[in-house]
Amino acid sequence: MDDDVTLPPHPPTTPTGEPAPDPRGAVTTADPHVVASRTLANLRDVGGRPTADGRTVRGGVAYRSAELRAPAIADDPVIAGLGVRTVVDLRTAAERTALPDVLPAGARGLHADVLELTPQAPAADLTEILRRPQEAQAVLAALEPAVQMRRTYADLVVADAGRAGYAALLRRFLDADATPVLYHCTAGKDRTGWATTVLLLAAGVDEAGARDEYLAVNPAVRAMYAPLLERFADVGGDPGLLVPLLEVREEYLDAALGTMVETFGSFDGYLRDGLRLTADEVAALREALVD
């Protein structure tokens, strides 16, 4: 794994750990995949999307979200109602140590680090950099964030950590006693976004449908980071330098999909040769994910 992998800063929260409110007011949505929770940001049910052969991805089996950092998650009735049995944490060991998951009642945790950053990675935690906005200006300008994000997405596909981590996540769905599964990273957009793309393609959703889900998190992500962008602007920073790190873009997903085809030939090749899933596992995964 290259040392220049970039991660977004942790989303702002209230003093008790809940997601910070959007200063522009409440964000309304008609997105049926959104699960509204006051304690857990960017929570979505991956189910409900049609597959190419006319079936439907099963609801209530796979959930995605931002990091589980608020203590109130343990008592949130919305989350309790999901019946989550497994929480898969896609974050790095350092992120996990700094902010351990607050597990819903009855859930077991699994750590599947898909990046494995070295401690020397210069952009591994931008939160500290952002406390010094003038330094951040120079760092971000030199970083070329969009370029770094495309590299990160490629790494998620081909690096050993990503291949092992995503395979571990997919295999959770093969164990009926492990589902429903909730998986997450920091903001629930990049590492979690690729995980969701893989899940949907494995279920038989076409690329357009998987892309729609990937991009659908942008309203929640932008609301999540709005307080940070405002604070950065208030102290003299240029929010535009941060935006490429704080949203999902088609070019990022294209980088992952292009790397997948270039390296493994196809999605089936990625499952077989990249994630080392057997043909029986791939077939069982699809049956576990669709009605």
Residue 136 appears among annotated catalytic residues? no
What Cα–Cα distance (Å) separates residue 159 from each residue in 7, 248, 254, 275? 16, 21, 17, 11
Q: What is the Cα–Cα distance from 283 to 209, expressed in whole angstroms? A: 20
- Tokens of residue 201, six digits: 């393609």
Distances (CA, A) of 157 to 21, 80, 179, 259: 34, 33, 24, 7
| Torsions phi, psi for 65 (to 5 deg) | -165, 175
252 burial level (CB within 10 Å; 0-12, 13-18, 19+): buried
CA atoms of 31 and 218, how far apart (whole Å): 12
> Is-contact 213 200, C-beta < 8 A?
yes
Round to whole Å and give the CA distance between 155 and 113: 13
What letters, b where the CB count within 10 A reaches 16 and e where it falls short, cover 78-103? Answer: ebeebebbbbbbbbbebbbeebebbb
Query: Which is the catalytic residue, given 5, 7, 84, 185?
Result: 185
Whether 66 and 184 have beta carbons less than 8 Å apart is answered as yes
What amino acid positions are annotated as catalytic residues? 185
